[in-house]
Amino acid sequence: MRNVKASPTNTPHWQKLAKLHAQYQSQSIEQLNDLSANGGQCIDAAGLSVDLSRNFVNQVIVDELVALAKTQGMPEKINQLIAGEEVNNTEARAAHHTALRLPDSAQTRADVGETQQKIKALADNLRNKSWRGSNDTEITDVVNIGIGGSDLGPRMACNALSSMTTDGPKVHFVANIDPRDLETVLQGLKPASTLILISSKSFNTTETLENALSARRWLLEAIPQSDLSKHVIAVSSNVEKAVAFGVDADNILPMWDWVGGRYSLWSAIGLPIAIAIGYEGFRELLDGAHAMDEHFATAPVENNLPCLLALLEVWYVNFCNAHSSAVLPYSHELGLFPDYLQQLTMESNGKQVHKDGSPVLSRTCPTIWGSAGTIGQHSFHQLLHQGTELIPVDFILPLHSHSDEHSKQAHLVANCLAQSKALTEGKSEASATQELADSGLSDAAIAELASHKASPGNRPNTIIAMDKLTPSNLGALVALYEHKVYAASVVWDINAFDQWGVELGKQLSTPIFAALTGDDSASTDKTTAFWIKRFTQQ
């Protein structure tokens, strides 16, 4: 029996929020958000300071959103996640990634502790050069072959923490089945000094297996088969398949079905991070995430950062008609963070049915996009300021840099703060008119230009700041968004931990691949047949 009662749209809070939107929609953020008058409303947790004062809410709206969250069972659902209960109902699994970042003293899963020791040993051996390749060659390069959660998290983190990647081997990432991805990475490398790390929870992903096969062929062109175990390791929960592929059993680090792919950078999938920055740095990353877990588990909903960010998302998507949300890191090293967040958020909450299978009656996950500031300012920010879409923005702002160039860092911070201010306050047509008059333009020219130069402002944004981009702060940032995603799924009553939608494309590609490579028995639609013909005729 489907429990449509779980739909948030059936709660009195939903109706109240719609009324509040109608009541306040003509106000500006500054009029509405009395909190901004106090110079910002920052909530600090786990090394992050989150300024919510430029959001289109007031206390009445926040209270109603919090009441909605409580009606949807937020505190109990947080407890279920943290306790490792079966929150992923369609796959009958827990989503216990928080267990991976518990301090050693609180760790109850022996297998997690043992795996962390293996990660440490491997990273140490590679960094202190005691892991040797064929002919006693030093390993200078590690190539991570994986895709989705087995790529985006470690790739993003290695990029973010690149200021710490001294001493160890250089870590590369290959994800795409496009042959040029692997080829361009291998181009500058030598087999004898390269370690291939096959990362695949399922060990069943076509892209990863095809790339792993190509990489093995490349290794075997230069090293004997008997030395392959010095050059191939794997991370997988499917040890049997990894062994059948030819990976030495001693070279396989385990994963578990209670860790979702996009939540797995804390597991052995994070091995490239430990190799790149050292195990101590990796442990700091886990500790930062754990500090955010503690906040999520203990702070009341009204003061709970992941919950508040999730509730703001619900408010903008379901009541203010926002279709997308931008994440703009003012840190070049966090340039891959939006890509990472796309999988985390959209693969988790891009859902159209409730946990019981009944259709959702409201929109769910917005489109997530963005790139590093200030580059986007000279590109898509135009639409943020003057376009017709309402796009809430998260600014991610490490206040200080690992670089000594203080003046450039001050420019970076100034630009971030200026963008936040411009989005909020905009520029009225009256002040555009005044500016044009001051520059000596004629009345006719002013009348023609003023409306083009005006910016409406009133575009909600949040500043998520930290002192510096350290492993600990990065861990807290990632955990903040992981929990935000879960908290939003609780409000919408959807399963954040499955991804059935991605399966259809995989299924359909198999017969098309067969047709492209010579099997003409497959029947297909006209469009696909047309392109198969074009491909095979060449």
Residue at token pair 């043992």: 114
Distance of alpha carbon 107 from alpha carbon 124, whole angstroms: 22
Is residue 201 involved in binding ligand F6P (CB under 6 A)? yes
Q: At closest approach, how far in Å is the CB of 397 from ligand F6P?
A: 28
Question: Which residue, among 284, 275, 285, has the nearest Cα to 172 in the 3D structure?
Answer: 275
Residue at token pair 């008609």: 321
The amino acid present at 335, given as its one-letter code, is G
In degrees and rounded to multiples of 5, residue 264 shows phi and psi of: -105, 5
**Quick check: helix, strand or coil at residue 373?**
coil
Is residue 485 involved in binding ligand F6P (CB under 6 A)? no
Distance of alpha carbon 164 from alpha carbon 471, whole angstroms: 9
Residue at token pair 């047709």: 515
- Please identify, using beta-carbon distances, which residue of 172 and 201 lies nearer to ligand F6P: 201
- Please identify, using beta-carbon distances, which residue of 151 and 394 lies nearer to ligand F6P: 151
Residue at token pair 């490349």: 218
Structure tokens at 41: 């409303």
- Rounded to 5 degrees, what angle do the CA atoms 22, 63, 50 make? 105
Q: Map residues 358-397 to x or -, x wherever contact with ligand F6P holds by CB under 6 A.
A: ----------------------------------------
When binding is defined by CB under 6 A, the residue of 36, 53, 55, 208 that contacts ligand F6P is: 208
Distance of alpha carbon 217 from alpha carbon 249, whole angstroms: 20
Question: Which class for 161: exposed (0-12), middle (13-18), buried (19 or more C-beta within 10 A)?
Answer: buried
- Please identify, using beta-carbon distances, which residue of 347 and 394 lies nearer to ligand F6P: 347
Distance of alpha carbon 420 from alpha carbon 398, whole angstroms: 15
Is residue 150 involved in binding ligand F6P (CB under 6 A)? yes
Q: Which range, of 107-115, 145-153, 179-187, 519-527, touches ligand F6P by CB under 6 A?
A: 145-153
Which residues does residue 138 pair with via DSSP β-bridges, in sequence order?
A: 132
The reply to whether 484 belongs to the active site is: no
Q: At closest approach, how far in Å is the CB of 261 from ligand F6P?
A: 3
Q: Choosing from 129, 400, 406, 506, which is the catalytic residue?
A: 506
Distance of alpha carbon 33 from alpha carbon 367, whole angstroms: 26
When binding is defined by CB under 6 A, the residue of 447, 502, 508, 514 that contacts ligand F6P is: 502
Pair type for strands 232-236 and 194-199: parallel
When binding is defined by CB under 6 A, the residue of 47, 133, 148, 398 that contacts ligand F6P is: 148
Is residue 202 involved in binding ligand F6P (CB under 6 A)? yes
The reply to whether 429 belongs to the active site is: no
Whether the Cβ atoms of residue 198 and residue 228 lie closer than 8 Å to each other:
no
Q: Which range, of 143-151, 246-254, 278-286, 396-404, touches ligand F6P by CB under 6 A?
A: 143-151
Is residue 140 involved in binding ligand F6P (CB under 6 A)? no
Q: At closest approach, how far in Å is the CB of 178 from ligand F6P?
A: 16
Q: At closest approach, how far in Å is the CB of 152 from ligand F6P?
A: 8
Q: At closest approach, how far in Å is the CB of 357 from ligand F6P?
A: 20
Question: Which residue, among 290, 464, 495, 476, has the nearest Cα to 392 in the 3D structure?
Answer: 464
Q: At closest approach, how far in Å is the CB of 95 from ligand F6P?
A: 12
The reply to whether 347 belongs to the active site is: yes
Is residue 147 involved in binding ligand F6P (CB under 6 A)? yes
When binding is defined by CB under 6 A, the residue of 127, 262, 290, 355 that contacts ligand F6P is: 262
How many helices (H) and strands (E) would you count in the chain? 21, 13
Is residue 97 involved in binding ligand F6P (CB under 6 A)? no
When binding is defined by CB under 6 A, the residue of 169, 261, 288, 398 that contacts ligand F6P is: 261
Is residue 342 involved in binding ligand F6P (CB under 6 A)? no
Q: At closest approach, how far in Å is the CB of 253 from ligand F6P?
A: 13
- Please identify, using beta-carbon distances, which residue of 234 and 464 lies nearer to ligand F6P: 234
The amino acid present at 106, given as its one-letter code, is A
* Size of the residue set binding ligand F6P (CB under 6 A): 14
- Please identify, using beta-carbon distances, which residue of 208 and 364 lies nearer to ligand F6P: 208
When binding is defined by CB under 6 A, the residue of 8, 47, 133, 149 that contacts ligand F6P is: 149
Q: At closest approach, how far in Å is the CB of 238 from ligand F6P?
A: 8
Q: At closest approach, how far in Å is the CB of 255 from ligand F6P?
A: 8
Q: At closest approach, how far in Å is the CB of 245 from ligand F6P?
A: 12
Q: Choosing from 64, 207, 284, 347, which is the catalytic residue?
A: 347
Is residue 210 involved in binding ligand F6P (CB under 6 A)? no
Q: Which range, of 196-204, 301-309, 405-413, 462-470, touches ligand F6P by CB under 6 A?
A: 196-204
Residue count of the chain, please give it: 538
- Write the CB contacts of 87 (distance below 8 Å, at least 6 apart in sequence): 77, 80, 81, 94, 95, 495, 496, 497
CB atoms within 10 A of CB 446: 17
The string over 116-125, giving b where at least 16 C-beta atoms fall within 10 Å of a residue's C-beta and e elsewhere, is bebbbebbbe
Distance of alpha carbon 14 from alpha carbon 8, whole angstroms: 7
Helix pair angle (305-314, 59-71), 10° resolution: 100
- Please identify, using beta-carbon distances, which residue of 21 and 241 lies nearer to ligand F6P: 241
Question: Which class for 359: exposed (0-12), middle (13-18), buried (19 or more C-beta within 10 A)?
Answer: exposed
Helix pair angle (305-314, 279-298), 10° resolution: 70
Distance of alpha carbon 534 from alpha carbon 538, whole angstroms: 7
- Please identify, using beta-carbon distances, which residue of 148 and 366 lies nearer to ligand F6P: 148
- Please identify, using beta-carbon distances, which residue of 342 and 409 lies nearer to ligand F6P: 342
Is residue 200 involved in binding ligand F6P (CB under 6 A)? yes
- Please identify, using beta-carbon distances, which residue of 123 and 175 lies nearer to ligand F6P: 175
- Please identify, using beta-carbon distances, which residue of 149 and 169 lies nearer to ligand F6P: 149
**Where on the chain is the footprint of ligand F6P (CB under 6 A)?**
147-150, 200-202, 205, 208, 261-262, 347, 499, 502
**Residues marked as catalytic:** 347, 378, 506
